[in-house]
Structure 1
Amino acid sequence: MTKTVSFLALSCVGFIATAPAFAEDGPKTPAVDADPQTRDDIVVEGERQRRDSNPKFVASIVDTPRSIIVLPSETIQQTGSATLVDALRTIPGITFGAAEGGNPIGDRPFIRGFDSQGSTYVDGVRDFAAQSREVFAIDQIQVIRGSDTTLGGRGNAGGTINIISKVPQPEDFVAVAGSYGTDDYKRITADVNHRLTDTIAVRVEGVWHDQDIAGRDAIWQKRWGVAPSVTIGLGTPTRLTVGYYHLESQELPDSGIPYLYTIGNAPLGTSLSQPAIGNVTTIAGTTGYVDRSTFYGVKSRDFRDTSVDQATVRVEHDFGGITLRNTSRFTHNDQSYIYTQPDDQQGNVFGTNVANPATAGGLVWRRANTRYGYADSIVNQTDLFGEFATGAIKHSFAAGAELAWEKARRGTFVTRGFTNAAGNELLSTGSTISPRCTPPAIARYYCTSLFTPDANDPWVNYANDTSTTPAAISRNLTVAETQNDANTVGVYGFDSITLAEPLILNIGARYDRFHSRVRPGQPIAATSQIQYERTDELFNWQAGLVFKPTHDTSVYASYATAATPPNSLLGEGQEGNALPTTGGAANAALADSLKPEKTKSYEVGAKAALMGGRLNLGVAVFQTDTQNARVTGPDNVPQFIGKRRIRGVELTATGTILPGWTIFGGYTHLDPVITDGGFTALTAAAVGTQPAKTVQVVSVNTGRQAPQTARDSVSIWTNATLFDRLQIGGGAFYVSRVYGGYSDNRAATQNAAGVVTVTPATKLIERSIPGYWRFDARAGFDITKRVNLSVNVQNLTDKTYFSQAYTAHYATIAPGRSAFATLAVRY
């Protein structure tokens, strides 16, 4: 057992904004108009902003020295978003990564160049498990950009996402919507609120969703969910809210399109290895066409099943202008899948050797990634917030404490009874065959054609790659499962201090004690359990100064820190600073030597609430620095010497331009650079009596654009109401080129005297996806004041583009053009 205690300074402060939910002019549902607790409302952008929805928000958006975007439910509905990823695509500056290797499938947004999968919150409480979230029970989504550990705890180097749930309201209403469209799109949502007594109200949201994916063969998604809640004490000083959320989903996961080149078969010089789509010519000169609909998975093998259960109890009491709140939440997430990664790493897509049909190109290995597991968390959070004055100085404050227990356990699907040389069980997918795409491998459907794959291939799981005995697919033995446990104790405080009429000081600090432990899965023959654990103590802070030239404008400067300790994601995402998962004295020492990665953010900006607060404009210029990222050092062991620098500018515009005409959008430019990627080990093969030797060279990543991050992105959604009943809307979305990863062909050799020579690179490949523009459109008509018929068209021009760039293997292709009509009734 290994333990270590590390200290660091990081992250952000009181500022998460429950922002203005602007809506198109015209009739609103009671859910929008009504608010059970208006005494703490802050008027921003022409709408009430409830302080009680997130107590850590201690100032209005215009008075908060941070870049904040709030996506309201109206925009989520107008854009036809059904998932969190759909909704976040309307926010500039957010790109997406996805599952690779052991990284589970789920939402993986990148904010300002940093993976924010572990920085997603529901009502201010961390929601760490990998999952694909729905929007049916979401009231709004808050995106706070910049280093942010003071707000939520560990992680948050690029920013946080906070989901605000729908809760009971004081007025009765029913809202039901049904959608039907192309690609067998079917969706029904319901939102019912009923006031039982003067002080008790219940609310129930539900969704049923079923669709194929536009432009993609075989892919389908199904899910259903329900979210009931009850509030006792509406309009009284003491309130109790109990809520439950359940979501189940099944789908055939999408395999995407493989990259064309590996470093072995790439042309000389620098090459963009993009997905092999359109006209493709192999090394043997064979030319074929890869259509956007091409799917390399196998229906008889691939699947993904998930479920989410979440129970929340919130108690709060008002003491005059101060509120005490306690929130307790239990969450259980379950996920299992087998999905195909169309693999380019064996060189079989473009090909490596024309003399052998198995290596002449035009083939794709159907590499199977498998996982099952669950993630549980119990979180208790206490907040005290309100306002007071010390003489002429006004304070809007929040203070609190958090206790959290988290566990994630996972395994893989295997063929029971077969083990490889390491004693590990495997599925029979051709992973032991070399080269991968031999005629026997093709006959077993381990490999398929690049141009004409068939998802209906009758794949059969055998006892091993050469056996003719069919075998059932089962789960790992318990000894082979990996478990991560963590507990957190955190205390925090925020204060927005009005020093004088034009000056506001916004400060905050947080201390966390994060203890984590990993018990790696062991081979079947193992006789003992390996375990590593450590404790990290994190101190983070943020400070910002706001100057207000007028009541509705501000200029600000801020500084914030963030800390990402080892094992921060508990195996629920891609983690470069993970605890070891194998035994040995070196790994025991490594677990002791690890450190939290530290990030600092500097930001200056200006905000304006125009036309009486109906239109909000903002600009921010920022720099985020990581000085001690974990990389391989010159001695071939992990060291905390890596550096990353993200510079950028953000422009935002949200609100009402003219009566009945709203806008939501902005532009983000980033300069994301890996300034020091550490070193890469090259091995010089043994020569005569000279043993193999390892030398270090500067990482190929150094000086290159940070992966999963676009330099430029634009998002604009606008909606106009004409003739009182007709609404016309549309969106334009742009994302520039995104890189997944880099490789070169530097090599090391030695002579008989043991002198090692490093051959400079003659090839460099940049795995990437090209930039794209996407356009959406919407038209709606109020048949009556309570009945609306609308039509959404997504990807209006049927653009072929890719939404996620993987480090290697393949990229995720986005859906083609789709359209659906929605009939919404509210009363």
Structure 2
Amino acid sequence: MTRTYKAYLTPVSVAGVLFFSTHALGASVDAPHDDGEKLSKRTSKRQKGEVQKAEAQPAKPVTGVAATDEERLTVTGHGFNTMHDTLGLSRMPQDVMHTPQNINVVPQALMRQQNVKSLDEALRNVPGVTSSIGEGAGGMNGDQFLIRGFQAQNDIYEDGLRDFGVYSRDSFNFDSVSVIKGPSSEVFGNGTTGGAINMVTKTPGLQNHYGSEFTGGSGSYYRGTLDINQKLDSTTAFRLTGMGDEHNVVGRDFIYSHRWGIAPSLAFGLGKRATLVLHYMHQQENSVPDFGVPVVTKPGAAYGMPITEYGVKRTNWYGTNNDQNATNDNMETARFTYKVNDHITVYDDLRGGQYYRTFAASKATCDTTCVNNYFNGDPAAALVARSGPSGAGKGTGPGTYMAPLPYEQTSWSVQNVASIVANFNTGFLRHQLVAGFDIERVNDVRSQSTYLNPKPYASLINPNPYVGNLNLVPGDSNPAGLVSLGALHAKDHSSGYGFDTGLFLFDQIWLTEWLSVKGGFRWDRWQTSYNLTGGDVAKNPDSHFHNVSSVFNPNVSLVATPDEHQTYYFTWASSTTPMGMYVTNGSVPIRPGTNSFASPEKSQLYELGAKYSLFHDRIGATASLFRLDKGNAVNADPVTGEVQGSSDRQRNQGLELSVGGIILPGWNVTATYALYDSDTTYSATKENRGKNIQYVPHNQATLWSVYNAFAHTPYNISFGGGITWRQHVWLNAANTLRVPANLDFSAVISHRFDKHWKISMNGYNLANRLNYQSLFSNRATPSAGRMFLGEVSFTY
């Protein structure tokens, strides 16, 4: 197999060039002469007026404006109170407060204070979101999340368009990140059982802005970013963001990531009736995948836990020096807006994506012999099997082949969403109508490879990743090394596609000035195909699967807004996940089998909520009670990683609270809490009935607060920190394996030299606790240990 994308620019050199070249450019620009408070008020006025009109985009008004300074945002109360933020989607034209659904927004100001560097880090501020390290035999890795306990790896969006790539998303081009909780098929289409994640990108504006940051610290961490916004004329602007990043992982041996990215964008017609934004994003990464440590059950214990809970070092990594995750991801986006008149606006968003990946990983398994040797025998004799041909080191020959096998993946996608938003009256009734269509196509091709030499077993106590050349060859050269997935034959080549045509229509009708009803639907025709070819065709014939399904998802809400500072709502919504949804990020999108695969997953949401913007919009607060029912749930096999239909019915219900804003001038706070009561209401396996849903904690909370002391003086200082807590979670449907609670303390301190330059220091996991961030049904990945990152940044 050819190792593609292993050659890349060194991120350290990219980081340095980005930082110093941007400073040279920014130094030539005149600095504003207002003091912080005056500039803050001026920026606030511009946010509400000129820029919002100029950009004419369904995105946050602050986008493209040189108003990312935390002090400016703190003074006015903007940035941490997200109630009046828009979501960046034409299909959801209302702001957060007036959208009848629980929405958590991670704003730019919060990401800057925490020095957030990835989508995964941003979402740690959102309760109910859990990272999963992915199933085995197709090698999902990258970003994949669960929302309220339900898979959301296919529900990641950027500016309202689906991002099909399987990679770790860097935050260098994020303006904000929103998690829209609960089924949202009427907006996004198929999927969104637990919710959807939408990233709003940085786009051009009409005020020049030059900024850069350089970060360094623990784990050989080096990172540089730039953000340049240049006005070209009165209606045209250009923006460029870039990033170079390389780091190891503190507390994990042999794990590293090298990545770089660039995202230029160009906006035409700012302030005019017709606007066009062209955007390109390229991100490239070479890293080592970390499939964590095995979860084992100690003899006599009631349930199993990660082996690191029993004295094994948290640094132990059970992979090999042949493991690799090389990704190359590109997206081209065009967003067009045309304001027909004061009542009607037309939107058309088009995106193409190309994704390339070379992947090889090891999945550690500690079997019964391994467990007995560690706890009751000779711990030094405890050996861990690694995926691939195993057996060497035990004197048993090549042994069996296990997933995941190395593979190369090439994917592409095209999506176009056209919509119209119309505001009009019929008699005494006021309407806001949203209608449109959504067409998308995604293709995926994979080629499996195998090792001719077996992977040696690893010592559970002192694993050695240096196993030498395992002799990697294409799968068709070694058909015996290919892995069968249940009823599917062992094949070295797979391909598939998904094609969706969706129509949506929903209308919000105001019965009075303060009471409205919102209802609508989306219809989708989902067509998907999956093909398995190659290998030993005489023994295992090629397989071809095809499925077409039409789904209809309605929703309805009752919304009360007594005044502009409070909203109350009740929402019922549904979603459908048909077979074959996971074209790019699932090992087998379609398979033969029981009726549970022929029938789609269906979910229903009942939610009662309240939203407030208090104290002159300084503080935003939300509260929601919800019940989410899911039928025909899909589970993953703990050994092979196969996604299997179960016909289970699951329910998650609970309470979610959040507050964010400015307590006093210069003092911001963001806090969330979630209480979940989840269970399997029906299962063909009777022992699983009444058990908690995998990955859903009973309690979860976050807190972050920073105070800016002596603002506008030479000795100003900002300091603060926060806590992230998640109660223990179960890893399997039977509730026999679990990971302990996570508790993470973090802090920040910063000083601003003038209106342009700032230095800061962030500390993470200050107690150096053994936490687990990424989870799977029989493995868990220890989080990074205690680390400190220093940053130098400037903005002109």
Q: TM-score range by the shorter chain?
A: 0.7 to 0.9
Following TM superposition, by how much is the alpha carbon of 1:821 offset from its aligned partner in structure 2, in angstroms? Answer: 0.9
Letter in 1 for 2:252: R
Q: d(CA) in 2 for partners of 1:400 and 1:463?
A: 49
1:735 corresponds to: 726
RMSD: 3.2
Task: Tell me the secondary structure at the aligned position of residue 736 of structure 2.
Answer: strand
Q: d(CA) in 2 for partners of 1:551 and 1:386?
A: 21
Cα deviation digits, residues 545-587 of structure 1 (max 9, x gap): 1123333112211100010100111151377xx421xxxxxx3
Task: Tell me the secondary structure at the aligned position of residue 267 of structure 2.
Answer: strand
Following TM superposition, by how much is the alpha carbon of 1:524 offset from its aligned partner in structure 2, in angstroms? Answer: 3.2
405, 410, 414: which one aligns with 1:378: 414
Q: d(CA) in 2 for partners of 1:188 and 1:742?
A: 43
**Pairing 1:222-621 to 2, within 5 Å after superposition:** 222-261=258-297, 267-268=299-300, 271-277=302-308, 280=310, 289-299=311-321, 301-321=322-342, 322-345=344-367, 347-351=369-373, 362-368=382-388, 369=404, 370-415=406-451, 427-429=452-454, 446-455=456-465, 457-462=466-471, 480-526=492-538, 529-570=542-583, 572-573=585-586, 578-580=589-591, 587=592, 594-621=598-625
Q: d(CA) in 2 for partners of 1:52 and 1:254?
A: 33
Following TM superposition, by how much is the alpha carbon of 1:666 offset from its aligned partner in structure 2, in angstroms? Answer: 0.5
Following TM superposition, by how much is the alpha carbon of 1:93 offset from its aligned partner in structure 2, in angstroms? Answer: 1.6
1:646 corresponds to: 652
Native 8 Å contact 2:408 2:448 kept in 1: yes
248, 255, 260: which one aligns with 1:212: 248
Q: Do the aligned partners of residues 742 and 325 (structure 1) sit closer, same or farther apart at CA in structure 2, a change above 3 Å counting? A: closer
Q: d(CA) in 2 for partners of 1:216 and 1:27?
A: 45
Q: Do the aligned partners of residues 206 and 51 (structure 1) sit closer, same or farther apart at CA in structure 2, a change above 3 Å counting? A: same
Letter in 2 for 1:777: A
Cα deviation digits, residues 632-678 of structure 1 (max 9, x gap): 9xxxxx98742101111000101222222222221011111112222
1:438 corresponds to: none
1:660 lines up with 2:666 in the alignment? yes
1:170 lines up with 2:203 in the alignment? no
Cα deviation digits, residues 682-714 of structure 1 (max 9, x gap): xxxxxxxxxxxxxxxx3x432211112211110
Q: d(CA) in 2 for partners of 1:255 and 1:51?
A: 37
Native 8 Å contact 2:482 2:492 kept in 1: no
Cα deviation digits, residues 769-796 of structure 1 (max 9, x gap): 1002111100111111111111100111
- TM-score, normalised relative to structure 1: 0.79
Task: Tell me the secondary structure at the aligned position of residue 271 of structure 1.
Answer: coil
Task: Tell me the secondary structure at the aligned position of residue 704 of structure 2.
Answer: strand
Cα deviation digits, residues 499-553 of structure 1 (max 9, x gap): 1022121222111111001112442335964211111111111111112333311
Q: d(CA) in 2 for partners of 1:252 and 1:179?
A: 21
Q: d(CA) in 2 for partners of 1:353 and 1:179?
A: 43
Native 8 Å contact 1:59 1:496 kept in 2: no
1:17 corresponds to: none
Native 8 Å contact 2:630 2:650 kept in 1: yes
2:739 corresponds to: 769
Q: Which of the pair is proportionally richer in helix?
A: 2
Q: Do the aligned partners of residues 242 and 639 (structure 1) sit closer, same or farther apart at CA in structure 2, a change above 3 Å counting? A: closer
Q: d(CA) in 2 for partners of 1:353 and 1:773?
A: 28
Q: Do the aligned partners of residues 27 and 481 (structure 1) sit closer, same or farther apart at CA in structure 2, a change above 3 Å counting? A: farther
Following TM superposition, by how much is the alpha carbon of 1:59 offset from its aligned partner in structure 2, in angstroms? Answer: 2.5
Q: Do the aligned partners of residues 29 and 97 (structure 1) sit closer, same or farther apart at CA in structure 2, a change above 3 Å counting? A: farther
Q: d(CA) in 1 for partners of 2:337 and 2:296?
A: 57
2:225 corresponds to: 189
1:97 lines up with 2:132 in the alignment? yes
168, 171, 186: which one aligns with 1:132: 168
Following TM superposition, by how much is the alpha carbon of 1:488 offset from its aligned partner in structure 2, in angstroms? Answer: 0.7
Q: d(CA) in 1 for partners of 2:573 and 2:551?
A: 14
Q: d(CA) in 2 for partners of 1:77 and 1:530?
A: 50
Native 8 Å contact 2:608 2:624 kept in 1: yes
Cα deviation digits, residues 36-85 of structure 1 (max 9, x gap): 44277899985795759321123232222211111111111211211100
Native 8 Å contact 1:631 1:677 kept in 2: no
Q: Which stretch shows the higher mean deviation, 217-226 or 518-527? A: 518-527
Cα deviation digits, residues 138-167 of structure 1 (max 9, x gap): 111111111111110001111111111111
Following TM superposition, by how much is the alpha carbon of 1:590 offset from its aligned partner in structure 2, in angstroms? Answer: 5.4
Q: d(CA) in 2 for partners of 1:727 and 1:198?
A: 37
Native 8 Å contact 1:343 1:365 kept in 2: yes
Following TM superposition, by how much is the alpha carbon of 1:458 offset from its aligned partner in structure 2, in angstroms? Answer: 3.8
The alignment covers a number of residue pairs equal to 700
1:627 corresponds to: 631
Q: Do the aligned partners of residues 799 and 513 (structure 1) sit closer, same or farther apart at CA in structure 2, a change above 3 Å counting? A: same
1:58 corresponds to: 93
Q: d(CA) in 1 for partners of 2:547 and 2:238?
A: 44
Q: Which stretch shows the higher mean deviation, 210-219 or 385-394? A: 385-394
Letter in 1 for 2:611: K
Q: Which stretch shows the higher mean deviation, 40-49 or 795-804? A: 40-49
Q: Do the aligned partners of residues 601 and 185 (structure 1) sit closer, same or farther apart at CA in structure 2, a change above 3 Å counting? A: same
Following TM superposition, by how much is the alpha carbon of 1:721 offset from its aligned partner in structure 2, in angstroms? Answer: 1.4
Q: Once the two structures are aligned, what percentage of the paired residues are identical?
A: 25
Q: Do the aligned partners of residues 626 and 591 (structure 1) sit closer, same or farther apart at CA in structure 2, a change above 3 Å counting? A: closer
Letter in 1 for 2:672: G
Q: Which of the pair is proportionally richer in strand?
A: 1
**Pairing 1:26-175 to 2, within 5 Å after superposition:** 36-38=51-53, 53-102=88-137, 103-175=139-211
Task: Tell me the secondary structure at the aligned position of residue 249 of structure 1.
Answer: strand
Native 8 Å contact 2:576 2:602 kept in 1: yes
